[in-house]
Chains A and B, each alone.
Chain A
Amino acid sequence: MFEHYLDLAIKAIFVENIILGFFLGICPFLAVSKKVSSSIGMGLAVTFVMTSTAPINWLVNNFLLKEGALSWLGFPEIDLSYLSYIIFIAVIAATVQLIEMVIERFSPTLHQQLGIFLPLIAVNCAILGVSLFLIERDYTLTESTVYGFGSGIGWFLAITSMAAMRHKLRYSNVPAGLRGLGITMILTGLLSMSFMAFSGIDL
Chain B
Amino acid sequence: MRALTKEDLKIFTDPLLNKNPLTFLVMGFCSALAVTVKMETALVMTAAVVFVLSLSSTIISVIRKLIPSKVRIIVQLAVIASLVIIADQFLRAYVYEISKQLSVFVALIITNCIVMGRTEGYAMQNSPGKAFLDGLGNALGYGIALVAVAFLREFFGSGSVYGIQLIPDWLYEAGYRNAGLMVLSPGAFIILGLLVWLQYSLLSNRGAPGEHVHGADHSHHG
Contact = CB atoms under 8 A, between A and B. Distances in A.
A27 interface: yes
Interface stretch (B77-85, B128-136, B158-166): B77-85
Contacts of A24: 30-31, 34, 108, 222
Contacts of B18: none
Listed residue (A25, A27, A126, A179) with the most chain B CB atoms within 10 angstroms of its CB: A27
B86 to A, nearest CB: 10
A6 interface: no
A185 B192 contact: yes
B85 A27 contact: no
Q: Which 7 A-B pairs have the closest CB atoms?
A: A185-B193, A189-B189, A181-B210, A124-B222, A26-B29, A125-B222, A180-B208
Interface of B: 23, 26-34, 77-78, 81-82, 84-85, 88-89, 103-104, 107-108, 110-113, 116, 181, 184-190, 192-194, 196-197, 200-201, 204, 208-211, 214-215, 219-222
Contact of B222 (A83, A123, A175): A123
A164 to B, nearest CB: 18
B190 A179 contact: no
A196 interface: yes
A181 B23 contact: yes
B31 A178 contact: no
Interface of A: 20-28, 30-32, 34, 82-83, 85-86, 89, 120, 123-129, 132-133, 136, 175-186, 188-190, 192-193, 196
Given A24-B222, A132-B107, A182-B196, A192 B214 contact: no
A31 B30 contact: no
A86 B208 contact: no
Contact of B26 (A82, A181, A190): A181
B197 A178 contact: yes
Given A178-B200, A196-B185, 17 more contacts: A20-B185, A23-B32, A23-B33, A25-B222, A30-B29, A31-B26, A85-B88, A123-B222, A126-B30, A129-B30, A132-B104, A136-B104, A181-B196, A185-B190, A189-B189, A190-B190, A192-B184
A115 B104 CA distance: 29
